Amino acid sequence: MRRRTLSVLCALGALGGALATPTAAQAADPLPGSLSVRTDETRIYVDFGTFTLPKDLKVLLRKPGTDTPVATIDEFEFLEDPDPCSPSCQDDTGETTVGTTPLRLADLGQYAVDVEYDGTEGETILHKDEAVFDYHLIPQVKAFEVSGKPDVEHKTVTVRADATLRDPRDGAETPMANGRLVLETTAAKTGLTTDAAGHVESSYTFTGTEKHDLETYQNDVKVVLRPAGADAAHGLTRQVEVGFTVTDITLDSSTVRGADGTDAPLTGRATYKDNNGVSKPVPVGTLMSVYNVRSFRTGEDGRFTTQVPVYGTRQQKIALHGTPWLSTTYMPVSPDPTTSAGFHRVPTVTVSRYKKVTVSSVFDRYDLPASTTLKVNLQFKAKGTTTWVTKKTIDSPAVAGDSSRTVKAADLPYQGVGVWRFQFPGTQQIPAGDAPESYIVSRRTTAFPEFNANPEPVKAGAPLTITGKLDTQNEDNGQWSALAGARIDIYFRAKGTTTWGKVGAAATGADGRFKKTFTAAKDGDWQAKYDGDDWSHFSGDSRLDFVDVQLAPRGSSGKLAGGDATRRGSDAASTRRSASRR
C-alpha cells in the first residue's frame, strides 16, 4: 500500500466546544455531492472521488443523539487503488480514498460519524451522520485443524478450534466463551459453539458433493471456520485432502423418443465403486448434466430424472461432473425422433456482388406415415430486430419414413444486414422441429459520389480526362468512406447506338479517387463501373456523362479515342510500363 500522511493544518478546539456551522448562503463546498464514508471494526474511510482533498479535513465521532464530539481524527493515509483501470485506464482517478489508522477509543459502542473541512472561503463545511462506527469486541478464530482423511465411504472428520475476542481499545484478547462459529464448505454451512474456554472440538461429516479448491489444484476441498456474522478474514481456512473413486452412469434406456425439437424424459442411476469394487449410489445432490444443455442433481440411491433435447438424431451426452470425491463420467444418449420434421444445420448463405442472395440447407423428415409435400418458409430477420419475415415459400417432397432433402432458394434480392433461416411451420399430423439461423450476412454498398468527363465540349483529337471517386458504406453505422485499391472500368457508348464498350481501366487511390485520359473522337456517353469483389463489396455504376466532341478542322490527322477509336492512355503509370517494354 502506498501511504501518504496528510499534515494537520489547524487544531480543533476543546472536545466539549461548540462547532460553528455557517449558513447555506455562506458555505461554498469545494466538493459538493462527492463525499462517501464507510467503516470497518477499527477504521473510518473517506472518499471524495478525487486525489485532491479539501483543506483541514477532520472526522468527528460523537455518541448518537448528542452534538458534542468525543473524538477528532485529522491524520489519514491514502489507500492503494484496488482497480487502477476503472472505469478505464485513461479515466481512472487513481487513489482517492483515505483512511484512519486503527482507532483507540475510550469506550465501546456505536458512534455517529461527521466529516468536517474548510470551504472555498475558509468557512467550515460540516456533513453530519455520514456513517455509524460500531466499535466492539472483535471475534476471531486463532487456531483451527481438521483431523482425518475422508473419502466418499468415510466422510466424517474431527474439527478442533480456538476462538478469542480482541478488544480494539488495547488489543487484549480473551476466550470467546460460548461463541457461535460457522464451518463452511462449497456444499454446506454448519454451526458450532465454543465452550467456556473458547475451545471447540466436534465431528463433522462432509456431504460428498464439495467442489475442488481451485486455489490449490489438488484433490482437496476448502473448509472455512469463522465467527458467526463475520467474514472469512476473521476466521481460518484449511484444505482437506480427500480420497478419489471411479464413477459410472447406468441409463434405464440409452434411447429417448420424442418429436423433433422437443424434450424427452430420461432416467438412470449414478454409482461409484468402493474399495472392494462394489457399486454404490453416489451422494444425494451430486451434480450431473445433459452436456451443455441443462444441469440436474441425483436423488436417493443415486437415481436421477432429466429431460434430453431431441435435435434430430444428434447424439447427446449425460455427464457426472467430477469432484474431489468422484471421477467425471459420460454416457451417450441416442434420440429417435417420432413423426416430425425440421432443420438441424446452419443454413449456407451467399451474397453475390450483384445483390443476389442464395440460401440452402438440409430438411430432415422423421417417421412420416406416407409420402407428402411439405411447405417450407424462407425467412429473414434484420440485424437489431426480433421479427422473422417470410420472403418465400418452397414445396419440398418427402417420402414415407425418414428422409433428408436439400432445400435451396436462389437469386433473391439482398435484404440488408441480418440472418436467414428455413422454417417448417408444421402441420396437424407432422410437428415442426428446429429452425437454426444463419450467420450474419452482409456486404457493403458502393457508390460514385463524383464522376466527370472533362472538358465539355471537347475538340476531336484533344485530351479527354475521366475522373471520379468511389465510396463504400459501413452498414453498421451508415457512414461512407473512400474505397482504395479498387479497379474501375471505363465504358463508352457512341451517340445513336445502344452498345457499350470498355475502353480503359483505372485504380482508386487512398482517397477513393481515380483518373484516366483518352483522346476525344465521337459524341457519346461515358460511365465508370466497379465490379465488386469476392466477399465484401457490391458492384456499382457511376452516372452517365455525355460529351459533345467537336470535329477537328479539315486536314488534321491522328488516331482518336472514343467508340472504336484508339485510346491514348496518357496516365504516368502506362507511360512507364511502355518505356520499360521498349
The model's pLDDT over 194-245, given as tens digits with 9 standing for 90+, comes to 999 999 999 999 999 999 988 887 889 999 999 999 999 999 999 999 999 9
Q: Is 300 helix (H, G, I), strand (E, B) or coil?
A: helix
Residues 6+ apart with CB under 8 A from 247: 270, 271, 272, 273, 282, 320, 326, 327, 328, 329
Residue 257 has pLDDT above 90, yes or no: yes
Residue 215, pLDDT score? 84
Q: Compute CA 497 distance to the chain's CA centroid, rounded to the nearest angstrom.
A: 59
- pLDDT band, very low/low/confident/very high, at 560 (cuts 50, 70, 90): very low
Q: Residue 233: phi, psi to the nearest 5?
A: -65, -20
What sign results for the dihedral spanned by CA atoms 240, 241, 242, 246?
Answer: positive
Of 22-36, 151-165, 191-205, 396-410, minimum mean pLDDT range:
22-36
Q: How far is CA 375 from CA 339, 378, 381, 521, in A?
A: 16, 10, 20, 59
Judge contact between 520 and 458, C-beta under 8 A: yes
Rounded mean pLDDT, 154-168: 97
Residue 52, pLDDT score? 84
- Please state, in angstroms and rounded to a whole number, the distance separating the CA atoms of residues 344 and 362: 8
Q: What is the pTM of this model?
A: 0.70
Region of residue 429 (phi > 0: left; psi between -120 and 50: alpha; otherwise: beta): alpha
Rounded mean pLDDT, 453-459: 95
Complete DSSP assignment for 493-511 = EETT----EEEEEEE--TT
Residue 567 has pLDDT above 50, yes or no: no
- Give the closest residue to 27 by CA, choosing from 119, 115, 102: 119
Domains in the chain, ordered, with CATH? 36-135 (2.60.40), 138-241 (2.60.40.10), 249-337 (2.60.40.1930), 345-423 (2.60.40.10), 446-577 (2.60.40.730)
Using one digit for the tens of pLDDT, what is the confidence trace for 7-23? Answer: 332 333 333 333 344 44
Residue 112 has pLDDT above 60, yes or no: yes
Residues 6+ apart with CB under 8 A from 170: 104
- Please state, in angstroms and rounded to a whole number, the distance separating the CA atoms of residues 353 and 414: 10
Residue 29 per-residue DSSP state: -
- Please state, in angstroms and rounded to a whole number, the distance separating the CA atoms of residues 516 and 513: 11
Residue 1, pLDDT score? 36
Cis bond before residue 30 (omega within 30° of 0): no
Residue 566 has pLDDT above 80, yes or no: no
Using one digit for the tens of pLDDT, what is the confidence trace for 311-325? Answer: 999 999 999 999 999
> Percent of the chain scored above 90 by pLDDT?
81
Residue 235 burial (C-beta neighbours within 10 Å; 0-12, 13-18, 19+): buried
Q: How many residues does the chain have?
A: 582
Residue 577 has pLDDT above 60, yes or no: no
Residue 96 has pLDDT above 70, yes or no: yes
- pLDDT band, very low/low/confident/very high, at 88 (cuts 50, 70, 90): low
Spell 131-157 as b/e; 16+ CB within 10 A means b: bebebebbbbbeebebebebbbeebeb
Q: Is 302 helix (H, G, I), strand (E, B) or coil?
A: helix
Residue 93, pLDDT score? 57
Q: What is the mean pLDDT of the chain?
A: 89
Q: How far is CA 333 from CA 259, 307, 345, in A?
A: 16, 11, 20
Judge contact between 541 and 513, C-beta under 8 A: no
C-alpha dihedral, 223 to 228 to 231 to 237, nearest 10°: -20
Using one digit for the tens of pLDDT, what is the confidence trace for 491-501? Answer: 999 999 999 99
Residue 554 has pLDDT above 60, yes or no: no
Rounded mean pLDDT, 117-138: 95
Residue 573, pLDDT score? 36
Residue with cell 477509543: 105
Residue 167 burial (C-beta neighbours within 10 Å; 0-12, 13-18, 19+): middle
**β partners of residue 381:** 419
Rounded mean pLDDT, 259-268: 97
Using one digit for the tens of pLDDT, what is the confidence trace for 354-406? Answer: 999 999 999 999 999 999 999 999 999 999 999 999 999 999 999 999 999 99
Judge contact between 49 and 105, C-beta under 8 A: no
- pLDDT band, very low/low/confident/very high, at 87 (cuts 50, 70, 90): low
Instruction: Name the strands in the sheet holding 44-47, side by side, starting at the edge strand that comes first in the sequence.
Output: 36-39, 44-47, 97-99, 77-78
| Cell numbers given for 10 | 489547524
- Give the closest residue to 425 by CA, choosing from 379, 380, 386: 379
Amino acid at 557: S
Of 42-46, 76-80, 280-284, minimum mean pLDDT range:
76-80
Residue 49, pLDDT score? 86
